[in-house]
Amino acid sequence: MKRPVLLLVIAALVAAGCIRLGMWQLSRLRERQALNALVRSRLAEQPTTPEELLRDSASVRFRRLAATGVYDYDRELLYGARVHQGSPGVNFLTPLRVAGRDTVLIVNRGWVYAPDAATADRARWRERDSVTVHGYAEPFPDVPPQREGADPRVLYRLDRNEIARRVGAPVYPFYLVLTDSSDRAGAERIARVQPPPLDEGSHRSYAFQWFSFAAIAVAGASVLAFRRRRVAPGPGPRRSDHGLPAKSDHRS
């Protein structure tokens, strides 16, 4: 295969790969837009109760949720290896006991700084006992079972069954992400976990970059192939049997 043709084939393969990556970024953009629409619509709804949400468990995520009860700080767990603004820390998973219910609602009260991303002074970060909490619901994910580590109060996976075992009571199939302001006085406050940002991220610009790379690959290879054809050497002067240029047959 001639070099210009080989160059064009390679450029076409590179361009095809770039176009595929660009289309993947566009599909990610559509997924992000759909998620944004879901979050906006559900956060605009009126708050529901855990019992009402339990009857409509097919559409749990980002539903507004409110509950009144008493925090069980003695059974509180730490969700380790959490990052907030680039810093390591933990989230507090506090059981909320609702009057007349055996099932407890796990409340993610938010994040505090922890250098090892595993330990925190739970007593220091206690808030009120009797509360009415507001936030949004998140379903417990399907995760592999977690083995108990050195500290039985620390979790690294949101395993509902393991949480129920450590809390010592059945828990709802969803938890509440608290969005109320912290009631702690002073500068040290628990950083509440916020819903995902309602923007489109960088998917559109990444798609444009990949499509640009595809165009550059094809255009660059075409220019190089055209230049090679233009500078290709033609046939040299005809020579005699002695290696000298043959005399022209033209007579003046």
How far is Cα of residue 101 from the mean position of the Cα atoms in its chain?
35
Q: Is the pLDDT of residue 252 over 50?
A: no
Percent of the chain with pLDDT over 90: 44
Mind listing the pLDDT tens digit for each residue in 3-49?
A: 777 878 888 899 899 999 999 999 988 888 888 888 888 888 888 99
In order, the DSSP letters of the chain are --HHHHHHHHHHHHHHHHHHHHHHHHHHHHHHHHHHHHHHHHHTSPPB-HHHHHHTGGG-TT-EEEEEEEE-GGG-EEEEEEEETTEEEEEEEEEEEPTT-SSBEEEEEEEEE-TTSS---TGGG---SEEEEEEEEEEPP--PPPPP-S-TTEESS--HHHHHHHHTS-B-SEEEEE-SPP---SS---BPPPPPP-S-TTHHHHHHHHHHHHHHHHHHHHHHHHHHHHH-------B-TTSSBPPP----
Of 145 and 129, more confident: 129
| Residue 234 phi, psi dihedral angles, 5° rounding | -90, -175
- Give the least confident one: 69-73, 84-88, 194-198: 194-198
Average pLDDT over residues 109-126: 92
Average pLDDT over residues 105-126: 93
Average pLDDT over residues 134-149: 82
Q: Is the pLDDT of residue 192 over 90?
A: yes
Q: Is the pLDDT of residue 70 over 90?
A: yes
pLDDT band at 138 (very low <50, low <70, confident <90, very high): very high
Average pLDDT over residues 105-128: 93
